[in-house]
Amino acid sequence: MSEERSLLRRLRDRDERAFRELVQAHRDRVYNICYRMLGNRSEAEDVAQEVFIAVFKTIDSFREESKFSTWLYRVAVNHCKNRIKYLARRHDRDRDELDENSGGINGATTGMPVRAPQPDRALEGIQMEEVLREAVNSLDEEHRIVVVLRDIEELSIEEICEITDLPDGTVKSRLHRARLALRKKLQKHMTS
């Protein structure tokens, strides 16, 4: 804890080495949250960068009332939500333009950029990753957040409540519904 305090103090003093230490310590987790939320590596990298820049810029506003990591993940989740909204708007706009240009022939797609399913999908390696990515991506944003934080990042329900600003009961019920939906989508790929 005192190490974290000292790192925060150095961050507030605009110490570049402290910033690098911070990024090094949390980059994988922040990147993974962004990747699972956005389903795209380059978007995830871009958003994860923005998260660290925002944290560094606003470090003075962190009051140390919660764990630093909780605050960091909250910033990450908020950035991801904003990017999802932006991508959905951009997708809608692109679709409208496509409709206008093609007379509405090719426009039958929905909100998030999910790739069209391919036939012959095997269960292992890269293809299993694709199946999982698409299954997580197909969840509603509010369900995706809790699955990513709980089932992938293994955060506690209390931490998820703090990050999402939701009451305990809502987090649990969303988690249950998300797991039900995920199970339905992945059922044919599971052994049990």
Partner 1 sequence: MTTDNEDDIIATLSDYVEGTLPAAKKTEVEAKLATDATWKRIHGELVETTKSHDEISGLLKARKEPAPESFTNDVTATIHKRSAGLFFGRRTFGDRVPFSALLVVAVIGLLVIGYILWSSQTGSLKMDKRRGETPGSSIEVVPKP
Residues that bind partner 1 (CB under 8 A): 13-16, 19-20, 23-24, 27-28, 30-32, 35-36, 41, 44-45, 48-49, 52-53, 56-57, 60, 128-129, 132, 136, 151-152, 154, 168-170, 172-173, 175-177, 179-180, 182-183, 186-187, 190-192
Q: CA-to-CA distance for 33 and 152, rounded, in angstroms?
A: 8
Q: In the bound complex, what is the minimum distance in angstroms from residue 38's beta carbon to partner 1?
A: 11
Nearer to partner 1, 32 or 138 (CB): 32
C-beta of 95: minimal distance to partner 1 in Å?
28
Residue 49 Cα to chain centre, angstroms: 13
Crossing angle of helices 41-57 and 68-102, in 10° steps, is 130
CB atoms within 10 A of CB 159: 20
Least distance in angstroms from the C-beta of 33 to partner 1: 10
**What dihedral do alpha carbons 144, 147, 152, 156 form, nearest 10°?**
130
Query: 104: left (phi > 0), else alpha (psi -120 to 50), else beta?
Result: left
- Backbone φ and ψ of 65, nearest 5°: -85, -20
- What token pair was written down for 121? 């999908």
The residue among 27 and 91 lying less far from partner 1, judged by its C-beta, is 27
Environment class of 53 (CB within 10 Å of its CB; exposed 0-12, middle 13-18, buried 19+)? exposed
Minimum distance of partner 1 from residue 53's CB (angstroms) = 6
Residue 53 or 114: which CB sits closer to partner 1?
53
Q: Which is nearer to partner 1, 95 or 189 (CB)?
A: 189
For partner 1, the closer of residues 23 and 98 by Cβ is: 23
Compute the least distance from the CB of residue 104 to partner 1, in Å: 37
Q: Closer to partner 1 at the Cβ: 2 or 187?
A: 187
Report the residue count for the chain.
Answer: 192
CB of 174 to partner 1, least distance (A): 9
